[in-house]
Structure 1
Amino acid sequence: MEKKPKICILRWEEGQVLPAQLQLESLPGNSTNPASYPFEVMMLRVKGANMDTIEENPCQEMLDKFIVVCKELAAQGVKAITTSCGFTAYYQEGLAAAVPELVFTSALLQVPFIQTMVGPNRKVAVLTANKYHLREEHLQRAKIVDRDHLVILSLHDQPEWGRIYTHPNEEFNLEAVTDEVVSVVRKGLEENPDIGAVVLECTDLPPYSARIRDELGIPVFDINTMISYVALSLNEYKMF
């Protein structure tokens, strides 16, 4: 009998992913690249999920659509559901309350856990695609209570990354994006030497996690560290 994946990644609607995002999605490590995982995952595009309903203007209508999809997945035997955008944390509480399966919409859910690990004398930095789209609701619904030990770093004003907002139909210079990601984290560490770990909010950023760890010598968490954690709990893969 063919084994069915227990984890499903909810993706944006077909045709709603920008050219630059498609470039990022092709990279090993990206949350929507099946090659990123040592186990099988299901991927499902959700009608209505796009830049507007997920990142810019989340709404009840989109939550209702997600709930319908999640209930259908549960009926198919899926045991855990995540998403392809960290800003979907906005919908975390509603989705988790609606289905009995594990729901972990965003890498942001790791922040309270990591704050506990680094201790009361150090901070956790969150690197986000755009700090102006990271709302209070995202933090609240990810249960991020300790704001005194939280540092927000943002890519929105970087020349190359920022083109996803100013020139959405054009492709990235991926080498420039890599340099910008590392540079923003490096500057954050220089300005906040008490940062003990970094969380990458955006699901397009895990391809850069290893380079940040190697160059800056700091623990980096992302959506893939979270998916791997959940996969172990479901025996989707084993360490021994």
Structure 2
Amino acid sequence: MLQTRFPRPPGDIGHPASFPVPTRRLVVAGATPGGVVRDAADLRASGLVARFVAGARQLEAQGAAAITTSCGFLVLFQRELQEAVGVPLVASSLSMLAPLLAAGRRAGVLTVSAQRLGPAYLEAAGVPVDRIAAIPVEGVAPDSVFATTLLGDFPDWDAGQAAADVVAAAVRLRRRAPELDTLVLECTNLPPYAPRIEQATGLQTVSLLQCETLLAPFGAS
């Protein structure tokens, strides 16, 4: 997990009740939201991958049956992280995008920062290069309560406004890409609002909380 202090309501990956299976959390010191949610080249150059590799190995040594992270941008390190451990590891819900497309789903992405979620992240997620440009990506407004609280790592927020910010972003994406039937939630802080997103857009939402690779070792799905 990133080192954070922002609110984590039920459904957020950092809330202990969000997964239907027992979880163990490990905070990677120095991995702040502002240090991870950045352009791919900057994240690569940050050297943070070594800290996340060490964290994944520590979790495996503690008996973790599957491992994930608390930020979708860490898909950039998917290969290095999976190679470092012997248990299933899914760094980001973005890794669910390619299988959805292969199954014929018309999927878009809702993210905390569309400005920073460039093509390199979707390529790292396994999306075929020739399909990346066609995938609609929408970010929560940069000046919104939701985005500024998360990226600035503030401890308090107007919860109602944060929810409205997220739903507004999903509605924007729905309007400009009416062909969609599925919405992948990049940010692990978005799932608390999945029911409201689905009600407002009619789209099915997908997040790490439904990732079969993570749940299969526990016999859950």
Equivalence map 1:122-137=2 (5 Å): 123-137=106-120
* Structure 2 counterpart of 1:38, from 20, 25, 28: 20
Shift of 1:238: 4.3
SS in 1 for 2:22: coil
Equivalent-residue separation in structure 2 for 1:173 and 1:238 (angstroms):
34
Does the 8 Å CA contact 1:158/1:180 hold for their aligned counterparts? no
Does the 8 Å CA contact 2:122/2:132 hold for their aligned counterparts? no
Equivalent-residue separation in structure 2 for 1:155 and 1:43 (angstroms):
26
Equivalent-residue separation in structure 1 for 2:74 and 2:108 (angstroms):
19
> Greater strand share, 1 or 2?
1
Aligned length: 215
Structure-2 residue corresponding to 1:175: 160
Shift of 1:142: 0.5
Question: Which sections of structure 2, spanning at least 5 residues, go unmatched?
Answer: none
Equivalent-residue separation in structure 1 for 2:69 and 2:156 (angstroms):
23
Equivalent-residue separation in structure 1 for 2:179 and 2:165 (angstroms):
22
Establish whether residue 185 from structure 1 lines up as the match of residue 166 from structure 2: no
Structure-1 residue corresponding to 2:136: 151
Task: Provide the identity percentage.
Answer: 24
Sort the Cα spacing of 1:144 and 1:91 in 2 relative to 1 into closer, same or farther, 3 A: same
Shift of 1:68: 2.0
Residue by residue over 1:29-53, the C-alpha shift from the partner in whole angstroms, topping out at 9 and shown as x without a partner, is 1111011122211111112221244
Establish whether residue 48 from structure 1 lines up as the match of residue 33 from structure 2: no
Does the 8 Å CA contact 1:118/1:197 hold for their aligned counterparts? no
Equivalence map 1:61-72=2 (5 Å): 61-72=47-58
* Structure 1 counterpart of 2:192, from 199, 202, 207: 207
Which of 27-36 and 149-158 deviates more? 149-158
Residue by residue over 1:185-222, the C-alpha shift from the partner in whole angstroms, topping out at 9 and shown as x without a partner, is 11211221111210110000000011112232211101
Equivalent-residue separation in structure 2 for 1:96 and 1:170 (angstroms):
32
Equivalent-residue separation in structure 2 for 1:125 and 1:158 (angstroms):
22
Which of 34-43 and 47-56 deviates more? 47-56
Equivalent-residue separation in structure 1 for 2:53 and 2:147 (angstroms):
32
Residue by residue over 1:159-197, the C-alpha shift from the partner in whole angstroms, topping out at 9 and shown as x without a partner, is 323433786546321111211211221121122111121
TM-score, with length taken from structure 2: 0.87
Equivalent-residue separation in structure 1 for 2:18 and 2:152 (angstroms):
28
Which of 40-49 and 169-178 deviates more? 169-178
Residue by residue over 1:35-85, the C-alpha shift from the partner in whole angstroms, topping out at 9 and shown as x without a partner, is 112221111111222124422342462111222222232233322110111
TM-score, with length taken from structure 1: 0.80
Equivalent-residue separation in structure 1 for 2:47 and 2:203 (angstroms):
39
Does the 8 Å CA contact 2:119/2:132 hold for their aligned counterparts? no
Establish whether residue 29 from structure 1 lines up as the match of residue 11 from structure 2: yes
Question: Which sections of structure 1, spanning at least 5 residues, go unmatched?
Answer: 1-10
